[in-house]
Amino acid sequence: MSTEIETLQRLEKQITDLQANLLSQKAVLTFEEAARYTGFSRSYLYKLTHLQKIPCSKPAGKMLFFDRAELEHWLLTNQVAHEEIENKASTYVTLKRGGRP
């Protein structure tokens, strides 16, 4: 029984891996596929599309589609260096304290 469960778990993982590989090969993603590809929840992805903050198309006025290359570019647009974040945080803390150490 234990071996059967392990085999099923291994097969499920292989199916998941294959689905991920297929997503990386497709040029156009559906809403569900884009959510899986980005790792965003469906509600967050919908919010981004509603606010027009993420590139997508709605050719028939109903279904949303995403160009995978545009989506990848969008995902990488706001790269911030770790050191820059630390500097901004330090400046913010200093200003909030009124410049006191």
Helical H segments across 26-98, by residue range: 31-38, 42-50, 68-75, 82-96
49 falls within a domain: yes
Q: Which pLDDT band holds residue 56 (cuts at 50, 70, 90)? A: very high
On the question of pLDDT at 68 being above 70, the answer is yes
Specify the pTM: 0.60
**Is residue 71 a contact partner of residue 38, using CB atoms and an 8 Å limit?**
yes
8 falls within a domain: no
23 falls within a domain: no
Give the Cα separation of 60 and 52 in Å (integer): 17
87 falls within a domain: yes
- What are the pLDDT digits (tens) for 8-42? 999 999 988 887 777 777 899 999 999 988 999 99
61 falls within a domain: yes
62 falls within a domain: yes
Specify the higher pLDDT residue, 23 or 68: 68
What H or E segment, with its residue span, contains residue 99? none
Read off the pLDDT of each residue in 48-68 and give the average, rounded to a whole number: 92
**Number of structural domains found in the chain:** 1
What H or E segment, with its residue span, contains residue 63? none
Which range marks the domain in which residue 80 is found? 28-96
15 falls within a domain: no
4 falls within a domain: no
Percentage of the chain exceeding pLDDT 70: 89
Q: What is the mean pLDDT of the chain?
A: 85
